[in-house]
Amino acid sequence: MEFTKKEGFVYYPSGSARKVERLCIAAHHDDIELMAYHGVSECFGKEGSFAGVVVTDGAGSPRSGLYADYTDEMMKRVRVLEQKKAAFVGEYGAQYFLSFSSKEVKTNATGVVENIAAVIRETKPRVIYTHNFADKHDTHCAVALRVIEAIRTLDKSERPELLLGCEVWRDLDWVRDEKKVVLDVSGHPNLSRALTSVFDSQICGGKRYDLAADGRRLANATYFASHATDEAEMLNYAIDMTPMILDDSLTPERFICSYIDDFKAEVTDRLARLK
């Protein structure tokens, strides 16, 4: 594919392209490992590989300690190197770097949707992981919107079978249990920790994503069912956003508000029963 940004490129950890089964399209370097570890672990050591896409360039990353005096250009290089390390450790089939600024993604600049569509067309994944519309990070929500727009430019035959909206900056514990997509991420705990730990610039920058990722997954598994023993050691949650690419007239607001309305109904119904 041709990248809009001159800094854009694709990295093949194994040295050549491999068949992609699952694809994650994420806003930032390390979002993939936080929200789509399920895809990584499902493909690890198997023929159908996992691939990642980082849409932004990493320029706005927080920094302290060793990285306190790094410029945006220096941070971009560090973030790319860290993401390449994660792709190698996780045995990704491919890692795409689109290298748009956050502002370009949020304003839907020329090339953002087109590049995302090109990656999907090139990799032909069965499953795509991305951000969900209830995330509280603007760039994450913008990427989710761009992903929907990109998929809707494709023929029906080119679209994935399943599109999952995952949790990063706001978990999905509030979604009604029957509407949660429950992702068991108990497998290969050593791999999970290795992936989140390679992002040294974030950890030294004061964001312990490595600990937080494990903490959220452990909490999800423990608090999922109040009257049953745990069936998994670690869980991530997602919502099924496939309806957004089956019905091109469905708006993001209408889609996510149906989940919010269900949550409101569950809370008010419980209180009414217990008065």
Q: Where are the domains of the chain?
A: 9-274
Among 22-26, 67-71, 135-139, the minimum mean pLDDT is found in 67-71
- Average pLDDT on 189-208 reads 90
Q: What is the pLDDT of residues 114-141, one digit of tens each?
A: 999 999 999 999 999 999 999 999 999 9
8 vs 119: CA distance, rounded Å: 12
- Which distant-in-sequence residues (6+ apart) come within 8 Å of 83 by Cβ? 29, 30, 32, 52, 54, 95, 97
Per CATH, which fold does 9-274 belong to?
Rossmann fold (3.40.50)
In terms of residues, how long is the chain? Answer: 275
pLDDT confidence bin for 46, thresholds 50/70/90: confident
Mean of per-residue pLDDT scores for the chain? 94
Q: What is the DSSP string of 54-78?
A: EEE--TT----GGGTT--HHHHHHH
- Average pLDDT on 10-18 reads 89
pLDDT confidence bin for 65, thresholds 50/70/90: confident
129 three-class SS: strand
257 vs 49: CA distance, rounded Å: 34
Among 61-75, 171-185, 213-227, 254-268, the minimum mean pLDDT is found in 61-75
- Average pLDDT on 222-238 reads 85
Asked if 261 contacts 215 with a C-beta cutoff of 8 angstroms, the reply is no
Q: Buried b / exposed e across 251-261, counting CB within 10 Å, b at 16+?
A: eeeebbeebee
158 vs 136: CA distance, rounded Å: 30
- Average pLDDT on 165-171 reads 96
Asked if 110 contacts 144 with a C-beta cutoff of 8 angstroms, the reply is no
